Amino acid sequence: MGVAVATATLAQEQRGASSPEDLEAGKQVYTRKCAQCHGDDGQGTGPAANEVFPRPRDFTRGIYKIRSTPSGTVPTDGDLFRSITNGLPGTSMPAWGVLPERDRRQVVQHIKIFSQKFKEEIPTPITIPPEVPSSAESIARGQELYRDAECWQCHGDAGRGDGPSLPDLKDDWGHPIWPADLTQCWNFRGGSTQQDIFRAFMTGLSGTPMPSFADIFEPQQAWDLTNYVRSLCRDRNVDIFVRAVPAEGELPTDVNDPRWANAPAIDFPLVGQIIQEPRQFTPSINAVTVRAMHTAGDIALLLSWDDRTHSKANPEARTSDDAFVVQWPVRLTEGPEKPYFLYGDTSRPVYLWRWTANAEGISELNATGFGTESPQRQESQNLKGTVVYDHGQYKMLVRRTITTDDKDNDLQFEAAKFIPIAFSAWDGSNDETGNKRAISAWYFLYLEPTPSRARLIYPGIAVVAIAAAELFFGRQGRRRRSA
């Protein structure tokens, strides 16, 4: 017994036992910065807890997702310090790197008070062996492991977190939880470096269905799988405008037309609509990727967004229709004024392209504020388009003529102008319908002017002129020499 006490006490010293002053200071920081979500008692039930998803951590059980320690054990002080400093991407937990380092170290000590586990256990980090550099071969081996170890049961065949186990998944507190969308590595809670991903495999994410593979994978295998998962992550390209590039011939009619690769893809973030009742604090669709092309007469947009479920209205399953809206002003103005971004206002109406899972095609509407949406007359409906759902991702292609006859209600596109564009998205499996939706601010679409033929003519003239000049001066030179 005496020996056991000695070991525990020494370990306490090694971990840097905190002074009463530090603990008091940590409590102060906690009360100011953390308690709103995590609660004064650390139970994760602060005043804001119901408005965030995933819910704030309950510190009283000592269960932490992001650790360098084996499954089921407490994290190290360094792990907690890192989570506080970097935040948990894709959640409401912000990066507190703005706080002085001492504050962050002190608050770590306060958080540990909430669970007895920190007094009973000595955290021992796993060792992370040297990484296997990514290569085509390593990625291919990782892909095989992804299939054989059935990572797809939760994360889906394409990695978008839409696997067949999705409906059953709950965390230790009984709250529904989503598997990570592996194509959005910037939202990985514990970071997205090779080391971060390897660590997640080997420690698991405690309190969640993500298990530890420490007894399953050799380090080489875990690195191969890391490299495969890293390869699923697409490049994110956030901007405030998307260019509609000129296209030759007919515009694509297929969402998978290879010519879409020629159009730059821009990611526009979506957030919950929390300005008007009813509010949606926890939307599941977090971005839309937009590509655009045009010819002299037509414009086409390709919009894609990740949604783990393809939902239609079903009262029994308590789902609504998935839906998406592209919003434009009806009229372009010279100044900076734009319609109110939530479906416009009485002085500045908006023009909407709407798709819902229960209807064929994409329809045109107008609105002067939420709740005033009215579909245009049948003869004025002139959108062509298609929506495809595949492996956790929607792709929506919409085509329209650059100008229309219904100039009172339809936006008339103009080249070389920044045209306001905004988006709304609904995940019918996430209690989203009506004003409970994901929205964007106004962004812009810029139609690059179609290059005129002059671009081809002038270089031609120049070539001919130079050739003629060379010929002329060359002959003169020879004449002189012969003279």
Partner 1 sequence: MMTRWLILLLLGIVMLPMQGLSYEAITVSDGGTIVGEVKYAGDPPAPEKIDVTKDANICGADPKVSPALVVGANKGIKDVVASLPSIQKGKALGKPDKPPVLDQKGCEYHPYAQIIPVNTTLEITNSDDVLHNIKTKGGSKTSFNMAQPKFKRKLTYDFKNPEIVQVECNVHGWMNAIIVVEDNPYDALTDANGSFKITDVPPGKYTVKVWHSKLGEQTKEVTVGPKEEVQVAFDMKAP
DSSP-derived 3-state class of residue 430: coil
Q: Quick one: CA dihedral 43, 44, 49, 53, positive or negative?
A: negative
Nearest to partner 1 of 146, 413 (CB atom): 146
The verdict on 124 binding partner 1 (CB under 8 A) reads: no
Beta carbons of 301 and 397 less than 8 angstroms apart: yes
CA dihedral in degrees (17, 20, 22, 23; nearest 10)? 90
The verdict on 164 binding partner 1 (CB under 8 A) reads: yes
The verdict on 153 binding partner 1 (CB under 8 A) reads: yes
Selected from 63, 285, 330, 383, the binder of partner 1 by CB under 8 A is 63
DSSP-derived 3-state class of residue 307: coil
Selected from 165, 372, 412, 450, the binder of partner 1 by CB under 8 A is 165
The verdict on 172 binding partner 1 (CB under 8 A) reads: yes
d(CA 196, CA 146): 17
Here's the x/- map for partner 1, 431-450, by CB under 8 A: it reads as: --------------------
CA angle at 341 for the pair 339 and 342, rounded to the nearest 5°: 115
Beta carbons of 322 and 311 less than 8 angstroms apart: yes
The verdict on 226 binding partner 1 (CB under 8 A) reads: no
Task: Write the DSSP assignment of 88-146 as a string of letters.
Answer: -TTSS----TTS-HHHHHHHHHHHHHT-THHHH----PPP-PPPPPP-HHHHHHHHHHH
d(CA 353, CA 424): 10
Q: Quick one: CA dihedral 115, 118, 124, 125, positive or negative?
A: positive
Selected from 33, 57, 61, 294, the binder of partner 1 by CB under 8 A is 61
The size of the interface with partner 1 (CB under 8 A), counted in residues, is 37
d(CA 311, CA 166): 14
What secondary structure letter does DSSP report for 436?
-
d(CA 465, CA 66): 69
The verdict on 143 binding partner 1 (CB under 8 A) reads: no
Selected from 100, 133, 215, 334, the binder of partner 1 by CB under 8 A is 215
Peptide bond into 278 cis (omega under 30): yes
Interface segment toward partner 1; rule CB under 8 A; list 164-172, 288-296, 385-393, 428-436: 164-172
User: Which H helix or E strand runs over 79?
Assistant: helix 77-86
The verdict on 454 binding partner 1 (CB under 8 A) reads: no
Nearest to partner 1 of 148, 379 (CB atom): 148
Selected from 14, 21, 127, 148, the binder of partner 1 by CB under 8 A is 148
Interface segment toward partner 1; rule CB under 8 A; list 148-156, 230-238, 440-448, 468-476: 148-156
Interface segment toward partner 1; rule CB under 8 A; list 26-34, 146-154, 186-194, 381-389: 146-154
The least CB distance from residue 163 to partner 1, in Å, is 9
Interface segment toward partner 1; rule CB under 8 A; list 163-171, 279-287, 381-389, 414-422: 163-171
The least CB distance from residue 125 to partner 1, in Å, is 17
Looking at 344-452, list the stretches that DSSP marks H as alpha helix, in order from N- to C-terminal side: none
Q: Give every CB contact of residue 349 below 8 A, 6+ residues apart in sequence.
A: 329, 330, 339, 366, 367, 368
The verdict on 69 binding partner 1 (CB under 8 A) reads: no
The verdict on 150 binding partner 1 (CB under 8 A) reads: yes
The verdict on 14 binding partner 1 (CB under 8 A) reads: no
Selected from 207, 246, 269, 369, the binder of partner 1 by CB under 8 A is 207
User: How many Cα atoms sit within 13 Å of 451 on the Cβ side?
Assistant: 10
The least CB distance from residue 432 to partner 1, in Å, is 23
The verdict on 218 binding partner 1 (CB under 8 A) reads: no
The verdict on 76 binding partner 1 (CB under 8 A) reads: no
Selected from 48, 49, 149, 441, the binder of partner 1 by CB under 8 A is 149
Question: What does residue 283 show for φ and ψ, rounded to 5 degrees?
Answer: -70, 155
d(CA 442, CA 327): 9
Selected from 35, 99, 169, 245, the binder of partner 1 by CB under 8 A is 169
Interface segment toward partner 1; rule CB under 8 A; list 48-56, 205-213, 261-269, 353-361: 205-213
The verdict on 3 binding partner 1 (CB under 8 A) reads: yes
The verdict on 210 binding partner 1 (CB under 8 A) reads: yes
Q: One-letter amino acid identity for 52?
A: V
Binding site for partner 1 (CB under 8 A): 1-6, 9, 61, 63, 71-73, 148-150, 153-154, 164-165, 167-170, 172-173, 204, 206-216
